[in-house]
Structure 1
Amino acid sequence: MKSIPVTLVAGAAVLTLALTGCSSSGETGSADTKGTKDAKSTTRVVTDATGAEVEVPDTPKRIVTLHYAATQPVLDLGFELVGQGVFEKGIIPEDQAAAAEKVPVVAQQEPKLEEIAALEPDLIFAPNVYDEETTKALKEIAPVYTFTLRGGDRAKWTQRTEEVAEALGVPEKADELQTAFTERQKGIATKYADVIKGRTVGVIGSYEENNFYAWGEKNMQGSLLVPLGFTYSKQESDIVKDQKEPEATLSHEKLASAIGDADVLFLDSNLRGEINAFMKDLQATSLYRQLPAVKDGHVYVGGKNTVAGYTDANYTLDRVEDALKDLQAK
């Protein structure tokens, strides 16, 4: 994910799982093509995102995540944490915030090794951005499962949940979340087919002064919106097509050429429907006000553009449904 503050939301399928404890984590994980387990052992061997084999507990009890991109999947899968990476306020669902904010933060840009060790974790989830020395130090504390944060298929945000579920021994829970999410997308596509048909959608964020952030179709937001039946902005996809990942920071002057063909525009927000100060500055510019979607009143908050897990993804669908109801009424 871009090094914007990547930072914990949910539809009905997710909310019933998060922060409830590991209701099925007491069951031993079954072996599959990725992991093996001796029936008499209390550990399993799984393969992490780097290809390394990691011996993990059958039923992790003291889990630490070092980045929010793993925190949300852990919670979505019904497990609790004893330590977590830093996160921005507003990205945790309101009904979960009080409990989640009590979990100690033990990683900023780098992990706080002494504080992590004091928590006596039995499993650590680390992003695939740490150097060998840092990873080695973490392994001296507890088993370390390295998950995918950077690289890979940007549109496949589900990959992290699959990896975390494998390490926790509950791959079936990841399948359940994916099935429920896909069914929800199909339901929205059917219910609002007449509203969505022929609509071109664009998605932007802003994370620094005088610039905005464009996201191509082959990115996380594309995987959420295109299955609903929207046509993704060709201009936006084209303007980022030469990037290593289908996204880019662009100057305000490129707004019209990047998303001028979008008749519906979704803005990056937190899980309270709040946009940041940079986006507010962008909205005050004449370049923004001249966009067709803005002039037509077809601009909506869309949730987090960097999707950590099903909570984020379902929140975006919540906001999309709100937008579709508004468009339907016009």
Structure 2
Amino acid sequence: MNSSSRSTLAIAATALSFLLLTSACTSGTDNDRDESTGKKDVATGGKAFATADKETAELGSDAEPGVFPRTVKHANGTTEIAERPKRVVVLDTGELDDVLALGITPVGMVTTEGANAVPSYLADQVEGVDTVGTINELDLEAIATLEPDLILGSQLRADTLHDELESIAPTVFSIRPGFPWKENFILVGEALGMEDEATDVLNDYAKATDELDDSVDGNPTISLVRFMPERLRLYGNKSLIGVILDDAGLARPESQDIDELAVEISPENLDQAGGDYVFYTSYGDPEATGETTALSGSQWAGLPAVKDDRAIRVEDDVWFLGLGPIGAEQIVDDLDEYLTN
């Protein structure tokens, strides 16, 4: 892989400390469960948090914390990073959340096609940051103009553009966004030379999920419903929020307790969305996604959670587009509010 000799100034960035919720979602190749905790791959060696995906957890750098130059192993090979990055471009909402959680404002970011071009919970932290296209359509010229010294993205989103991006600046790709969000955050931390800070953030998160687990009475099942254009999803364990629920020891309805991102159902089968609590949202305009129509129908009204006033609309930006520790913190706060009050 290409290496970068671009000159950068060392930056001192202090990681924000967050009380966060969640994570050990299941993976198709990772089904080891600690029977004493009910969580996957409980970490040791100073790491209090569990992991969701062994493959992603194996990525990163063997360099001493904060020491450059360093070689970073990532989804598309290895990348040499000569000096601590200062001008970072992020290609997804997860990487945006990640760098902000470490106290770094990127010089470039992408927008989404959700209700908000930039996730609402991060918008006030990125005022004035240049945009470099959308998640699905990157503007390589705009990226090059910013003269970044590090580009962060994922193989799933931008695999075919990796070589072009690497010709602009050192590029580090995770395998995929979503359920390996903690492992992806550690990878970002290692690319930035801030692995210790990232570990501290996730240790705080693990403490918060344990506290939530202790504070919820009983064993309520949590259903996740997302209305999308032309489809309706019930989210499973291989999702950001699925990982968070698993970390907090919260149960899922049988149809959603699966090692998949989600199952898709037709609006006519909305009765399959049942759970003691139903958290729902839309990716985009509720009129266009079918949410408005569904919520006025008899199947929605017949769900026990709706009858018991336990169907709660949440922010799509956070619960399904956040994909990082700041978003996870807010989800933890939301769950604490709705499940313990």
TM-score range, shorter chain: 0.7 to 0.9
Q: CA deviation at 1:184?
A: 0.7
Higher relative contact order (CA 8 A, sep 6+): 2
Q: Is the alpha carbon distance of 1:34 and 1:298 closer, same or farther for their aligned partners in structure 2, counting shifts above 3 Å? A: closer
Residue identity matched to 2:268: E
Which one of the candidate residues 177, 198, 209 is aligned to 2:201? Answer: 177
Residue 69 of structure 2 corresponds to residue 43 of structure 1 = yes
Number of the residue aligned with 1:292: 304
Q: Is the alpha carbon distance of 1:291 and 1:180 closer, same or farther for their aligned partners in structure 2, counting shifts above 3 Å? A: same
State how many pairs are aligned: 277
Number of the residue aligned with 2:221: 200
How far, CA to CA, are the matches of 1:203 and 1:236 in structure 2? 8
Which one of the candidate residues 253, 265, 270 is aligned to 2:278? Answer: 265
Q: CA deviation at 1:252?
A: 1.1
Q: CA deviation at 1:13?
A: 3.0
Q: Is the CA contact 1:188–1:228 (under 8 Å) kept in the aligned structure 2?
A: yes
Q: Is the CA contact 2:240–2:323 (under 8 Å) kept in the aligned structure 1?
A: no
How far, CA to CA, are the matches of 1:35 and 1:145 in structure 2? 11
Number of the residue aligned with 1:146: 173
Number of the residue aligned with 1:251: 266
Question: Cα deviation per residue 1:277-317 (whole Å; 9 max; x = unaligned)?
Answer: 43333212221111111111111234413441011111111
Number of the residue aligned with 1:20: none
Number of the residue aligned with 1:165: 189
Q: Is the alpha carbon distance of 1:252 and 1:116 closer, same or farther for their aligned partners in structure 2, counting shifts above 3 Å? A: same
Q: TM-score, normalised by structure 1?
A: 0.75
Which one of the candidate residues 292, 311, 315 is aligned to 1:280? Answer: 292
How far, CA to CA, are the matches of 1:43 and 1:294 in structure 2? 56
Q: Is the CA contact 1:64–1:125 (under 8 Å) kept in the aligned structure 2?
A: yes
Which one of the candidate residues 231, 240, 253 is aligned to 1:220? Answer: 240
Q: CA deviation at 1:218?
A: 4.6
Alignment of 1:54-203 (within 5 A): 54-87=79-112, 88=114, 89=116, 91-93=119-121, 96-108=122-134, 109-128=136-155, 129-132=157-160, 134-149=161-176, 155-192=179-216, 194=217, 197-203=218-224
Q: Structure 1 stretches of 5 or more lacking a match?
A: 1-11, 16-31
Q: CA deviation at 1:34?
A: 4.3
Q: Is the alpha carbon distance of 1:103 and 1:190 closer, same or farther for their aligned partners in structure 2, counting shifts above 3 Å? A: same
315-324 vs 279-288, greater mean Cα deviation? 279-288
Number of the residue aligned with 1:24: none
Q: TM-score, normalised by structure 2?
A: 0.72
Q: Structure 2 stretches of 5 or more lacking a match?
A: 1-15, 20-57
Q: Is the CA contact 1:268–1:275 (under 8 Å) kept in the aligned structure 2?
A: no
Q: CA deviation at 1:100?
A: 0.7
Q: CA deviation at 1:135?
A: 1.9
How far, CA to CA, are the matches of 1:172 and 1:276 in structure 2? 41
Superposed structure 1 runs of 4+ greater than 6 Å apart: none
Q: Is the alpha carbon distance of 1:62 and 1:227 closer, same or farther for their aligned partners in structure 2, counting shifts above 3 Å? A: closer
Other structure's SS at 1:206 match: strand
How far, CA to CA, are the matches of 2:329 and 2:276 in structure 1? 23
Residue identity matched to 2:251: T
How far, CA to CA, are the matches of 2:304 and 2:141 in structure 1? 53
Q: CA deviation at 1:131?
A: 4.3
